[in-house]
């Protein structure tokens, strides 16, 4: 929007509004730059948190696999004991 107004002022030859519009455009660009930097910072933080979350999920998967192996072992042992009793 500021860019369009600046172009209109340049084409119309109204130099007094050109200066003010240039300042507005520069301010808008500085604000956009700060937003991009802030977003990049948040993305880096989020990426780190996702890495931690992946580690937690892998540990959970490992715990489930270990519990399943123990459960199978106990079931097999119980089945052998039942066969020996018969």
Per-residue pLDDT tens over the stretch 32-72: 999 999 999 999 999 999 999 999 999 999 999 999 999 99
DSSP states of the chain:
-HHHHHHHHHHHT-HHHHHHHHHHHHHHHHHHHHHHHHHHHHHHHHHHHHHHHHHHHHHHHHHHHHHHHHHHHHHHHHHHHHHHH-
**How many domains is the chain built from?**
1
Range of the domain at 11: 2-85
> pTM of the prediction?
0.52
pLDDT at 15: 62
């Amino acid at each position: 929007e500021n860019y369009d107004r600046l172009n209109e002022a340049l084409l119309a030859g109204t130099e007094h509004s050109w200066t003010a519009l240039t300042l507005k455009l520069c301010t808008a660009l500085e604000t956009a730059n700060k937003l991009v930097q802030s977003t990049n910072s948040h993305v880096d933080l989020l990426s780190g948190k996702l890495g931690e979350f992946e580690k937690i999920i892998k540990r959970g998967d490992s715990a489930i696999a270990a519990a399943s192996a123990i459960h199978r072992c106990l079931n097999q042992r119980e089945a052998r004991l039942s066969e020996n009793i018969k």
